[in-house]
Amino acid sequence: MDFSQLTTQQRKAFDCDGFLVVANALSKQQVSALTEITDNKARAFLDKHDVPLRAEYNQLDLRPGLLKYPETIELITNASTVPLVTQLLSPNIHLHSTALIYKRPSDPNLPPMRRGWHRDIRIPRDLGHKNLPRVGIKVCYCLTDFHEKNSGLTLLARGSQELNGPLVIPKGAIDPQGLEICDLKLNAGDAFLFDNRIYHTASPNRSTRVSKVLMFGYAYRWMKQEVYLDNRDQKRLRSFDPVTRQLLGGYTDIDTPAWALQTWAKKNKVDPEPVPWHIETQE
């Protein structure tokens, strides 16, 4: 995997906002090759009859079967984004989830509808909301332009990764109070990364075109991969380069060090400080 340095400014922005935009993460050729693949995967959804008055019928969230293609396998180690994820988390990561999110146009005059604000990976269900750790980052690749508001991009509540409780949504409202709701304006080929703890939601696409986003989620290796990523075919895994193999879950037990990305991090001088079990006291 080629190297991209996470700048101090990017780290600060991600820590503060809970998300980070990476412009031109994909080339035009990548966008068109990926779109050909994802349009085929979404064919049945795209061919459904129009239901502009029911925004919920216009959303596709397809998760399994996205890694059958050289173009999507290549994306697992995309050089403009995945090095940043590795520096924000650590080399001890793997691919945790994949998702294809398409939204067909809905009537722009629909009344505001209930959202699905949430944090990822359901950690609060076990640990509560207080002092949650960052354990995963989703990389979202735009395959269409998002130049207008309400055109189908995931909404993000800036800074909400630090909240120690549930969102407060006034009765009758659809969005939380006291937080900035970000509906990013991006070009096809841009990506945004978001922290598992940030509150986010799908929202209707009130534009006239289908919106298309491909999401790859990364998490520490001690987080179980989504079941559809469980790849036990060692022969297939061995056909990939070491970093791709690690990210696909190639080291089956947790005690095996993350050799491939550790070596990569050392070579690029971004290996994290060791964390000792004990230290000696001074006499």
Ligand X SMILES: O=C(O)CCC(=O)C(=O)O
Cβ closest to ligand X, residue 46 vs residue 254: 46
Distances (CA, A) of 155 to 102, 118, 151, 171: 15, 11, 11, 20
Should residue 120 be labelled a site residue for ligand X when binding is judged by CB under 6 A? Answer: yes
What residues from 215 to 254 belong to the interface with ligand X (CB under 6 A)?
Answer: 215
Rounded CA-CA distance 105/57 in Å is: 10
What is the Cα–Cα distance from 184 to 151, expressed in whole angstroms?
10
Establish how many alpha carbons lie within 13 A of residue 39's alpha carbon, considering only the half-sphere containing its beta carbon: 9
Residue 99 binds ligand X, judged by CB under 6 A: yes
Report the candidate in 237, 272, 265 with the shortest Cα–Cα distance to residue 251.
237
Kindly state whether residue 193 participates in binding ligand X, applying the rule CB under 6 A: no
Shortest Å distance, C-beta 154 to ligand X: 3
Beta bridge partners of 201: 155
Taking CB under 6 A as the rule, does residue 139 contact ligand X?
no
Site membership for ligand X, residue 198 (CB under 6 A):
no
Q: In whole angstroms, what is the distance from residue 124 CA to residue 132 CA? A: 8
Q: Draw the binding track, 36-65, toward ligand X (x: CB under 6 A; -: no contact).
A: -------------------------x----
Q: Candidates 85, 101, 157, 181: give the one binding ligand X (CB under 6 A).
A: 101
17 binds ligand X (CB under 6 A): no
Residue 154 is a binding residue for ligand X (CB under 6 A): yes
By CB under 6 A, tell whether 191 contacts ligand X. Answer: no
N- to C-terminal Cα distance for the chain? 46
Q: Which candidate, 216, 219, 249, places its Cα nearest to that of 231?
A: 249
- Name which position in 22, 55, 137, 202 contacts ligand X (CB under 6 A): 202
Minimum CB distance to ligand X smaller for 78 or for 151: 151
In this structure, which amino acid lies at residue 135?
V
| Residues at the interface with ligand X (CB under 6 A) | 61, 99, 101, 120, 154, 200, 202, 215
